[in-house]
Amino acid sequence: MDADITLHVDGQRRELTVDTRTSLLDALREHLGIITAKKGCDHGQCGACTVLVDGRRITACLALAVATDGAEVTTSDGLRGDQVAHPLHEAFLANDAFQCGYCTPGQICSAAGALDEAKSGWPSAATADLDEDPQLTDDEIRERLSGNLCRCGAYGNIVRAVREVSP
């Protein structure tokens, strides 16, 4: 069965018809030609497909496109807005926080979501004191980004890049 949906992707309204079983990732890549979100494991385990939906990070391979009808979807490309690059993009480049780059768009979206969560006072499993706003220590950043895998092992540089952008 097909459904007509509207997505607002990186600031653009996009209307499409999808099979109700289509994942958000497949809608982005196959229907809209937006290849920033990567298909890694297609099981929600690697984080390569991480995007922001209404400001919250999700693995797009596990979300049905019809469930995100009307939502604001932001990919790594959409984070920059009118800027040449988002501060996370610049920090990833400056800190050599990637090697092959396959996981980088998902890492950047996850980092953007994690920074917003910490700014809003949301604790993680690494937050020491639940009564105070979380401090973005290296351990806190690692915990918050633990759902995003990097097969090249650039984790140290990724943590350094996120710390550089954190308030």
> Taking the domains of the chain in order of start, what are their residue ranges?
2-75, 80-165
Task: Label residue 2 by pLDDT band (50, 70, 90).
Answer: very high
What would the pLDDT profile of 24-83 be if each residue is shown by its tens digit?
Answer: 999 999 999 999 999 999 999 999 999 999 999 999 999 999 999 999 999 999 998 877
- The predicted pLDDT at position 24 comes to 98
Closest CA to 122 of 147, 140, 104, 99: 140
Contact 92, 104 (CB under 8 A): yes
Q: What is the pLDDT of residue 131?
A: 87
Give me the pLDDT at residue 133, please.
87
pTM: 0.94
Identify the pLDDT of residue 162.
98
Residue 13, helix vs strand vs coil: strand
- The architecture (CATH level 2) of 2-75 comes to Roll (3.10)
- Sort residue 22 into left (φ over 0), alpha (ψ -120 to 50) or beta: beta
Read off the pLDDT of residues 114-131 as tens digits, 9 standing for 90 and up: 999 999 999 999 998 998
Q: Residue 165 above 90 pLDDT?
A: yes
**Arch. (CATH architecture) of 80-165:** Orthogonal Bundle (1.10)
Band of pLDDT at residue 149, cut at 50, 70 and 90:
very high
Which residues, in sequence order, are CB contacts of 34 under 8 Å at separation 6+? 9, 10, 28, 75, 77
